[in-house]
Amino acid sequence: MVKSSNNQSLTPLAKKGPQDEPAQKPVVPWVNPRLLVFILFVYYTTMLPLMVQRLHWTPPVLPASSPAETFSEERAMTHVEALAGRLPDRQISMPQLRQAHDYIVRQGELLAEMAATRGGDVEVKVFRENVSGSVSMDFGGVPFTNAYRELTNIVVTITPRGTAGRRGLLVAAHHDSAVTSPGASDDVSMVAVMLEAARALISRPPNFLPAVPLVLLFDGAEESICQGGHGFFHSSPHARGLGAFINLEAMGAGGLPILFQHTGAWTVAAWAKGAKTAHGARIAQDIFDTGIIPGDTDYRMFSARHFGSLPGLDIAFIRDSKAYHSHLDSVDRLRKGVMQDMGEALLGGLMSMAETLAADVDGRLLSPKALRERSVYFDLIGCGMITYPDHMASLLHTAPLAMFVMLPLASVAGGHTAAGVMLRMMAAAGRAIVALISAVLAPALLGILMVWISGVAMSWYARHWLAYAIFLPISVAAAVRPWIRLREESLERRPLQQGHYVACQVYGIGLVLSALAAGLCLAGLQGFSQVLAMGGFLSYAVGSLLDNGAATFGFGALAGVLAVATVPLAVMGAILGTFLDVMMERMSLTGHHSIFLADGIIGVLTGCAVLGYSCCCLLPLFGYALGALWDGSSSTGSSTGSSNGGSTRRGANNGSGGGRMWRRLLLSVLVAISMAMAIWSSTARVPYDLDNPRRITITHLHETGSWVPEDDAFPASSSSAMSAAMAAAAVHPAAAATSAGVQEPPPSPEEERRVLASQLEPKPDVTAKLVLGIADSNPWSQLFPDAAAAAAALPIVRQGAAVRYSDLGHEYASLHPLERLLGKMVLEAEPAAQPPVAVPPYVRKLYEETREIVVADGNASSSSKDEKPLNLRTTRVVHLRIFSEAHCWGMLNFTTAAPLRAWSLPSAPVAAAVPSSRSYNGSGRTPRDASGNSRRRRRVPFFTHMVRFSHEATSPFWDIWVELDAASGTGIADNEVDPWVIVELSATYLPMTAELRAVRDALPNWVTPTWIGTTFHSSYKF
C-alpha cells in the first residue's frame, strides 16, 4: 500500500456503479401550490370586480343648472323625451317623423338665436334638405339597389369666425327609428348628445371654439339602410369641403360608446388625444368587417373605404343590445350617465380632430395614402387609449415571434443548451395548441350536445349568468388539463430547474400566440393580431420572470408576474369579455341558420374569454397549482436530484396516487358542474321573458296579381283625398271636433278610405297571407307545434290553412335583403277589413321604345387583337309608372333573361343570377328555327334586379324606365335571349290595422315584433 503525503491511502480506481454516485442535493419544492392558489384567487377576485365596475362606469350626470359651457345629460334628456317619448314611431311614411324634423329644425333655430347674441364670432344656420338618389349595395353577398325619393335631412352648420374656407368636420346621427321601436338609444340619444354639445360649444369663449366649421347632420332616413346619409353625401352642398366625419350610433341602451370603425389612422389618434374617455379596440372593426354581426351604419356612406371619400370614425353604444330595434328601446331604459360619457367625449374629441384638420394646410390628411392607413387601438378600460398605425403594427405584431425564435440561443448564457430549450418549447407549443383548441371547442360541443338532446336553443338567453355557469367550468377544465401534471413533470424532468421547466411551458404558449399574431398581421386582421401579440409579449416577460435561476418561486417573482400581467389581462379580458356579453344579447337577431348556431357561438366565445382572462400564459401556473393542491408532497418534504438537472422519480412519486385522484376529481367536478347546469337549463322550454323577448317579423300580405285600374285619374284623386283627410285629422282630432270648434268636422281617414275603396273599378282580386319570420336559432315548433296550433292561436289565419316553411319567394320581398336571416312561415289568412290604402299599389306600362346602341362583340372576328369590333344592337326601353297612394317601404324586382343594360335610377343596374332548372324563354312557347322546326333551347339563368325603395314624395306616381336587349326581327338566334321583363312590386305600409294588432296581441308576452306592416304585392310581365 502506498500512502500519500496527506496520509490518505491510495487505492486502485474501480469502475463506479450507481451506488458509487456522489451524494445528490436535496430538491426544494419550487412553490407551495396552496399558497399559489390562494394568491391567484385573491388576485382574480380583486381584479375582475374592478374590471367589471370600470367597464360599466359612467361619469356623474350634470344637472341642468350646470355652467352653460359644460355638457349636461339632464339638459340632453329633454330632447330624448321630446322625440322618443312623445314621438315614438319615427319611421319613413309615418307622421311622427315629420314632426321630429320640425322639432330638430326648431332646436337648430334656437342655436342660431344663441349665436346671434355673441356679436358675430360664430354663425349658425339651419337647413331642411330633401334628397333623392340610389346606390348599389351588397348585403351578405346579395347585391341590390337602394333607391329613395324626397327624404328629409336636417343640417345645422356652426362656423366660428376665421374658419370659413377651411375643410369642415361632419358630425352625424339619425332621428328616425326602427319599425316598432321608440328609438330612445338608437339613435335619439346621439341626436340629443349632438344638440347639447352644440349648445355647450356656442356658450364657450371664442378661444375655445372649434378651429374648423362644424356640419351637424340629423339624418332622417338611416333605418332604411342608410338612405339619408347617402343622399346627404352625394347631393347636399354642405357635403362639399368636408375634411372628416364622426358618425354616432347605438346598438343598445346600456352605453359604453366604443370606437368600432375608422378610416384614416390620424382620426383615431386625434380622438384618443381629445376624448375624455375613449373606448374601443381595433378587433371590433375586424369583427364587423367579417359580417359576423349583420348591420350597417351611415359610416359606410361617408367613409373613403366604402361609398364616400372622407376619413372618419364610427362610434356606438353597444351594451344592452336586448333593447335594440324593439319596443324596449324606451326613454326609461336608457341608462343614466351614458349620454354624459358620450357628450364629454364628443366635445373633447371633435375639438382635437378640428385642431388636426386646421393644421393640415396642404391636404395630406385626404391623400390616398392617409386614407388607406389604418390604426391599431385599444383602451385601458376607459383610462386612456393606445394607438399606433398599421405600418408600425407590422413590426410590433411580428416582433414576439422573432423574440421566441431567438430565445433558445439567448438561453445558452443561463447554462442551457439551445437544442434542449428549443425541444422543450416545441413540446410546450404542442401542448398549448391542444389547450387553446380544447378550451374553445369543449364548451361549443357541450352547447351543441345540449341543444341536440333538449331541442331548445339559447336556454340561457333570459339569464346570462347561466351561460357562464354552463360553459365556463368545462372551458377552464379543458384549458388547464394539459398542465395539470406540471408540478410532477417538473420534478421528474428538471428537479433542480423547475422554474426553467415551467418557463418553457409559458414560452411554448407565447410561441403559438406569436405565430398566430404574425399570420393575422400579414392577413390584415390587425385587431386580432394585436390581442395575440400582446399575449406573446406577456408570455416572454412572464417566462423570463419564472426562468430566473432561483431554486424557488418567491413572492417577489410572483408579484412581478401578476404586475406585468395586470394591464394585458385588463385589455384582453375587457375586449373578449365585452364581446361575449354583447353577442349573448344579440343572439335573438343573429339569424335563423341552425338550431345549434347560438349555443356553438357562445361556447366558442366563452372559451376565448377564459383564454383572455388568463392571458393564456398564466395557464401553466394554474395547472401547476391546481394539480398539486391536495398532493401529498404539495407543501412539504423534499426529493433528490442530480446536480446537472438529471431525472429522478423518488420525490415526484411521493403522494402521486393521491395527486392523480385529486386531479381527476377536480376536472370531473368542473365538467360535472357544466353538465348539471346544462341539464337544468334545458328544462326551461321557453328561454325568453318580457325583458329578453324573442323577435318575430309580422307581415299581412295582400296579393293582387297583375291588377291595374282603368286609368290613373281615380288613384290620383284618391291619393289627394287621403292626404287631405290625414292633414285634417292632424289639425282636427276626433275628440276635439265639437260644434263650437268646427262647423262641419272633416271625415276621418278611415271613413274616407272606405268610401274611396267602394268606388274603385275594377276591384282587385285579393289573396291574403300571414307571413311570419323568426331571427334566432330556436325552431318554429317552440311557438306553434303544427299548423293547427298556429291557426288556433292567430286570429286572422283561415281554419285548416296549410303552413309553408320553404319554397318561398315574393312573400318576403319587402324585407329583402334581410329575409335571408329569417326562419319563414306562411299561412293563408283573411284580408284586412280596412286596409291602410284605398287603392292598392300597382305598376302600369306607359309605353316602350326601341334604341340602337353600339356594343363590342367579343364573338366576331377582327383583324386587330387589341380592339373588339363594334356592332349595332337593338334594345327595348320600357317606361313604367309606379303608384303608391301613401308613403311606403317598397321593393321592386325586375326579372329578366339577361341583365338590364340601363335604367333611370342614378346608379347602374346590379343583377343577381338565379340558376334555371329548365329551359325558359319568358313566353312559355317552344322556340323554333327559321324553317319553323322546334329546337331545344340552351339553359340560361334568370337575372333579378332588386330595388329597395322608400319615399316621402308629394306625388303618388314614380315614373321609371328600364332598358334591355330586344330580339332581332328574324326570330331568336341561339346567342340571343327573349326580351321579356317581369316586374314585381311589394309595398309595405306601417300604420297598424286591426288585423295586425290582433296577431301581435295573440302572441305570447315573451315575443315581440321587430317588423310589422301590411304589404301589397303585384306582378306584371311586359
**Residues 849, 877: contact at Cβ < 8 Å?**
yes
Q: Three cell numbers at 744?
A: 262641419
Other residues' Cβ atoms within 10 Å of the Cβ of residue 1022: 16
Give the long-range contacts of residues 678-682, CB within 8 A, separation 24 or more.
678/446, 678/447, 678/449, 678/450, 678/459, 678/470, 679/450, 681/450, 681/459, 681/460, 681/463, 681/466, 681/470, 682/450, 682/453, 682/454, 682/456, 682/459
**Residues 689, 1006: contact at Cβ < 8 Å?**
yes
3-state secondary structure of 895: strand
3-class DSSP string for 132-198 = EEEEEEEECCEEEEEEEEEEEEEEEEEEECCCCCCCEEEEEEECCCCCCCCCHHHHHHHHHHHHHHH
pLDDT at 928: 42
3-state secondary structure of 482: helix
**Residues 712, 957: contact at Cβ < 8 Å?**
yes
pLDDT at 631: 62
Domains of the chain, CATH where assigned: 39-54+393-411+430-550+616-637+656-682 (no CATH), 73-381 (3.40.630.10), 693-723+755-1022 (no CATH)
**Residues 159, 927: contact at Cβ < 8 Å?**
no
Running DSSP on this structure, what letter comes out for residue 328?
Answer: T
Amino acid of residue 779: P
Q: Which residues of the chain have pLDDT under 50?
A: 1-23, 632-655, 734-743, 858-865, 918-938, 969-975
Q: Which residues contact 413 (CB under 8 A, 6 or more apart)?
A: none
pLDDT at 869: 57
Q: Rounded CA gap, 917 and 921, in Å?
A: 13
Strand 375-379 relative to strand 385-389: parallel, antiparallel, unpaired? antiparallel
- How many alpha carbons lie under 13 Å from residue 130 in its C-beta half-sphere? 7
3-state secondary structure of 2: coil
Q: Three cell numbers at 813?
A: 320581398
Q: Rounded CA gap, 857 and 381, in Å?
A: 61
User: How close are the terminal C-alpha atoms of the chain, in Å?
Assistant: 125
Q: Three cell numbers at 793?
A: 292561436
Q: What's the CA angle centered on 533, arms 489 and 263, to 5 degrees?
A: 160
What is the DSSP secondary-structure string of 945-977?
A: EEEEEEE--SSSEEEEEEEEEPPBTTB--TT--
Running DSSP on this structure, what letter comes out for residue 922?
Answer: S
Amino acid of residue 99: Q
3-state secondary structure of 316: strand
Amino acid of residue 857: D
Burial 847-880, CB ≥16 within 10 A → b, else e = eeeeeeeeeeeeeeeeeeeeeeeeeebebbbbeb
Q: Three cell numbers at 830?
A: 283573411
**Residues 582, 321: contact at Cβ < 8 Å?**
yes
Whole-number Cα distances in Å, 797 to 73, 700, 701, 705, 775: 48, 10, 12, 21, 22
Strand 168-174 relative to strand 214-219: parallel, antiparallel, unpaired? parallel
Query: In sequence order, what are the beta bridge partners of 153?
Result: 129
Whole-number Cα distances in Å, 983 to 161, 263, 305, 844, 895: 55, 39, 34, 10, 7
Burial 245-274, CB ≥16 within 10 A → b, else e = bbbbbbbbbbbbbbbbbbbbbbbbbbbbbb
Running DSSP on this structure, what letter comes out for residue 85?
Answer: I
Running DSSP on this structure, what letter comes out for residue 938?
Answer: P
Q: Three cell numbers at 689?
A: 321573458
Beta-strand (E) ranges in 297-435?
A: 312-317, 375-379, 385-389
Running DSSP on this structure, what letter comes out for residue 879?
Answer: E
Burial class (CB in 10 A: 0-12, 13-18, 19+), 10: exposed
**Residues 749, 725: contact at Cβ < 8 Å?**
yes
pLDDT at 598: 94
Q: Three cell numbers at 409?
A: 440561443
Other residues' Cβ atoms within 10 Å of the Cβ of residue 748: 17
Phi, psi torsion values for 770, nearest 5 degrees: -100, 115
Handedness of CA 926, 927, 928, 933 (dihedral sign): negative
